[in-house]
């Protein structure tokens, strides 16, 4: 297993290298540039040219890339144009929020999606099944930002839920790890834990809708496939209890494609997080990226896109590893 993980990590290096070239070239090809972004409304062509010279942005692009790569390899992604703080520090500061939100969204998506999908398959053609199909279709079709605004404007006030942020402003919560809930538990500041959970509810629901819909549909389809397999008929003819067949044979085998989907959806959550975090001012990496895009923050964009790619590669590797855990036959192969 260790050799497998190392091999996958080594395979990721060329992927990330090519991506870094593409991202670098793409950002440089966009109109404007860091100098224009820094100088804002007062930018004149002369001032921009001067700043480009100071920053070395008037040098050939391959030289700029080599310098950039050299810095990145030492962990230096430069400073944000927006906050003037090191981007790496920003990523570390904002990462816990995204992890917290993604976990909450995945918790909702997996916790509801698998049982719903299973029930829909088991009672195929029934009310639950039809209802699930319609609801999941809506879940996939509704844009994340629209749903976010919908919940923010219509549910926050009636339910007494916060509409933005991670904690109530001015709440004296001790910050240890950056994970608001975990910190609250560790320090036994229970009001902070509850406050953090309340702040998570609406953004987590928003972010969970697409993965929930996808997981539900994949589970349903997968369970239906497995239920038609020969070994299920064999198990039934052997006289095994229905519960055992469902739990040990149907669900376990049906979970393989679901695991793949969960892995892919985890990667996609980062994309959804950009919109969700922006709508709810949930200060995670998505928020950071959205702000970076809006305010032409080149260093931030570069760092976050590359980091996103790295996370995607790692998550996919974890999915491959989880195959082995769910189905021992994969390990043997």
Interacting residues with other proteins between 204 and 263 (CB under 8 A): none
Written as six digits, the tokens of 286 are 């998505």
Q: Is-contact 7 321, C-beta < 8 A?
A: no
Q: How far apart are CA 160 and CA 168, in angstroms?
A: 13
- Residue 24 interacts with other proteins (CB under 8 A): yes or no: no
Written as six digits, the tokens of 99 are 């992890």
Q: Is-contact 204 102, C-beta < 8 A?
A: no
Q: How far apart are CA 15 and CA 309, in angstroms?
A: 9
- Residue 279 interacts with other proteins (CB under 8 A): yes or no: yes
Enumerate residues 146-185 that contact other proteins by CB under 8 A.
149, 152-153, 156-157, 162-170, 172, 174-176, 178, 183, 185
Helix ranges (DSSP H) in the chain: 2-29, 34-39, 45-55, 61-73, 87-122, 127-141, 144-154, 156-159, 180-187, 190-227, 230-237, 242-244, 252-279, 285-294, 298-326, 328-332
- Residue 94 interacts with other proteins (CB under 8 A): yes or no: yes
The three-point CA angle 311-314-315 to 5° equals 85
Enumerate residues 44-73 that contact other proteins by CB under 8 A.
45-47, 49-51, 53-55, 57, 68, 71
Among positions 12, 81, 245, 274, the unique one binding other proteins when judged by CB under 8 A = 81
- Residue 203 interacts with other proteins (CB under 8 A): yes or no: no
- Residue 74 interacts with other proteins (CB under 8 A): yes or no: no
Among positions 5, 8, 83, 140, the unique one binding other proteins when judged by CB under 8 A = 83
Enumerate residues 105-134 that contact other proteins by CB under 8 A.
none
Residue 326 CA, chain-centre distance (Å), reads 23
Q: How far apart are CA 76 and CA 326, in angstroms?
A: 39
Among positions 188, 228, 237, 243, the unique one binding other proteins when judged by CB under 8 A = 188
Cβ 195 to other proteins, closest distance in Å? 11
- Residue 271 interacts with other proteins (CB under 8 A): yes or no: no
Length of the chain: 333
Cβ 315 to other proteins, closest distance in Å? 22
- 106-114, 216-224, 229-237, 275-283 -> range binding other proteins (CB under 8 A): 275-283
Among positions 32, 111, 143, 328, the unique one binding other proteins when judged by CB under 8 A = 32
- 134-142, 213-221, 226-234, 278-286 -> range binding other proteins (CB under 8 A): 278-286
Cβ 95 to other proteins, closest distance in Å? 10
- Residue 85 interacts with other proteins (CB under 8 A): yes or no: yes
Q: How far apart are CA 180 and CA 14, in angstroms?
A: 36
Question: For tokens 């919109």, what's the residue?
Answer: 275
Nearest CB to other proteins, comparing residues 83 and 260: 83
Enumerate residues 296-325 that contact other proteins by CB under 8 A.
296, 298-299
Among positions 79, 260, 316, 322, the unique one binding other proteins when judged by CB under 8 A = 79
Q: Is-contact 224 216, C-beta < 8 A?
A: no
Question: For tokens 């609250």, what's the residue?
Answer: 184
Q: How far apart are CA 87 and CA 94, in angstroms?
A: 10
Among positions 12, 19, 78, 235, the unique one binding other proteins when judged by CB under 8 A = 78
Cβ 301 to other proteins, closest distance in Å? 10
- Residue 93 interacts with other proteins (CB under 8 A): yes or no: yes
Q: How far apart are CA 249 and CA 258, in angstroms?
A: 15
Written as six digits, the tokens of 77 are 């992604």
Cβ 173 to other proteins, closest distance in Å? 8
Q: How far apart are CA 295 and CA 284, in angstroms?
A: 17
- 187-195, 209-217, 314-322, 324-332 -> range binding other proteins (CB under 8 A): 187-195
């Amino acid at each position: 297993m260790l050799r497998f993980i190392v091999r996958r990590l080594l395979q990721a290096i060329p992927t990330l290298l090519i991506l870094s070239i593409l991202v670098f070239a793409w950002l440089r090809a966009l109109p404007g540039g860091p100098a224009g972004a820094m100088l804002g409304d007062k930018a004149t062509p002369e001032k921009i040219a001067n700043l480009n010279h100071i920053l070395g942005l008037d040098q050939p692009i391959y030289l700029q890339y080599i310098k950039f790569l050299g810095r990145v390899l030492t962990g230096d992604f430069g400073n944000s144009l927006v906050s003037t703080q090191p981007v790496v520090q920003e990523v570390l500061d904002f990462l816990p929020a995204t992890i917290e939100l993604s976990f909450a969204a995945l918790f909702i998506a997996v916790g509801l999606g698998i049982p719903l999908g299973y029930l829909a398959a088991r009672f195929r053609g029934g009310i639950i099944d039809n209802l699930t199909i319609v609801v999941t279709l809506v879940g996939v079709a509704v844009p994340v930002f629209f749903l976010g605004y919908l919940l923010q404007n219509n549910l926050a006030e009636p339910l007494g839920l916060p509409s933005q942020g991670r904690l109530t402003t001015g709440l004296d919560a001790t910050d240890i790890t950056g994970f608001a809930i975990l910190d609250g538990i560790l320090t036994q500041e229970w009001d902070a834990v509850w406050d953090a959970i309340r702040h998570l509810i609406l953004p987590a629901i928003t972010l969970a809708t697409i993965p929930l819909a996808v997981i539900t549909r994949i589970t349903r389809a997968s369970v239906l496939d497995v239920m038609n397999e020969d070994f299920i008929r064999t198990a039934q003819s052997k006289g095994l209890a229905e519960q055992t067949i469902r739990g040990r044979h149907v669900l376990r085998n049906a979970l393989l494609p679901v695991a793949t989907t969960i892995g892919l959806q985890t990667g996609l959550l980062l994309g959804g997080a950009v919109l969700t975090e922006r709508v709810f001012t949930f200060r995670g990496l998505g928020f950071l990226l959205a702000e970076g895009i809006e305010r032409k923050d080149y260093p931030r964009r570069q760092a976050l896109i590359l980091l996103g790619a790295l996370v995607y590669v790692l998550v996919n590797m974890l999915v491959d590893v989880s195959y082995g855990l769910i189905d021992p036959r994969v390990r043997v192969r």
